[in-house]
Structure 1
């Protein structure tokens, strides 16, 4: 008796020549454009049609890679957090003395928020959604534990050397660093308007950058 032939697996949608040559590069291009669209328009306002147009690929291909619009949005969030933590690992803060290491870390995060505004905008958008999409991601939670562990190691070294006071929580220090770095971008437009100042002026940015590091260190030091 002839055995039934199993159905062939579903083939991926037709893609352009570039995608055939390097599908991973194509995925990264989609993520890059989607990041800009979500940061600018939010989850509800961003259009997959526009992302497809800007990446020269079909909506069907985007859905093949990321399942749906919400899946793409979640991947954008994960990729954004992974990027900053990956760059942060390359700085090797553990190679510097504790006070210098903490100074460099604060300045690094302040600069990252300042120079990559889409990161702040994405976090603002996700807060509007009460973090319901980030809650689905174990990737982001694992990545951000690394952010606190970096501070913990610096703090522990500084405390052993008598430089930092005992009893501090690394998570609270991380909160303080994030707050100073985040506000400088998230509220820049309204703050500049209300107080008639240019918070994006280079001299102002450098002053606030130093002030952020000094504030955190004065909280930590004996």
Structure 2
């Protein structure tokens, strides 16, 4: 009986994981409005009844996918263990991580874009996001304080503003890569262009934060 119960739990967990992975791809590709539950069910090798049973309606499923997406990036940031590095080295590592995360997880950017079109109405219903971001802002704030103590960072920098800037200089580049490649007459996604952009991002942030960049 215990074995059967354990297997049932494992099967349920595996099904939910497949549904979430399929939903992430579908929402990232088509947005909330264009995403189809039938397509998610096909991708997940599940049926619509199971999706509604585990996650409620499509709006609820979208909110959970968003929560999972934000949880993933915030968890990965915590795993960097920046507190064990000198502040300047830690900040550069965070900038590199953010850029590389966006490149490796393009669905994250499209999901965030989609939620902004809906004026964050799903995140407003989330009881997870606030705690996730409190921990992250606390981590960046501690990094900045350490840099001031080490004599490398200017005092008085707002960790929220810094995070917005780090995110923005990578986010904008990637969300506008197609139009930018035409307007500026260069392939913004060529490997050398991506390396050049990362170096520019690091230099920009360091000049903002460091006493002696």
TM bucket by the smaller chain?
Answer: over 0.9
CA apart distance, 1:25:
1.5
Structure richer in helix, relative to its length: 2
Q: 1: CA distance between counterparts of 2:193 and 2:134?
A: 31
2:179 to 190, 206, 211: 190
Normalising by structure 1, what TM-score? 0.89
CA-to-partner distance for each residue in 1:63-100, whole Å, 9 max, x for gaps? 00001100100000000000111111111111110000
2:36 to 47, 53, 60: 47
CA-to-partner distance for each residue in 1:195-217, whole Å, 9 max, x for gaps? 22111111111111111111111
CA apart distance, 1:147:
2.2
Secondary structure, aligned partner of 2:76? helix
Q: 2: CA distance between counterparts of 1:128 and 1:122?
A: 10
Report what 1:136 is aligned to: 125
Contact 2:67 2:129 in 1 (8 A): yes
Q: How many aligned residue pairs are there?
A: 205
Unaligned runs of 5+ in 1: 1-17
Counterparts of 1:154-169 in structure 2 under 5 Å?
154-169=143-158
129-138 or 142-151, which moves further after superposition? 142-151
CA apart distance, 1:42:
0.5
CA apart distance, 1:20:
6.7
Secondary structure, aligned partner of 2:22? helix
Report what 1:13 is aligned to: none
Counterparts of 1:72-83 in structure 2 under 5 Å?
72-83=61-72
Unaligned runs of 5+ in 2: 1-6
Report what 1:56 is aligned to: 45
Q: 2: CA distance between counterparts of 1:47 and 1:158?
A: 48
Q: 2: CA distance between counterparts of 1:211 and 1:27?
A: 41
CA apart distance, 1:145:
2.1
Counterparts of 1:69-218 in structure 2 under 5 Å?
69-218=58-207
The CA RMSD over aligned residues, in Å, is 1.3
Q: 2: CA distance between counterparts of 1:174 and 1:100?
A: 16
Secondary structure, aligned partner of 2:128? helix
Normalising by structure 2, what TM-score? 0.92
CA apart distance, 1:58:
1.0
Report what 1:25 is aligned to: 14
Instruction: Answer with 1 or 2: which has the greater Rg.
Output: 1
CA apart distance, 1:134:
0.9
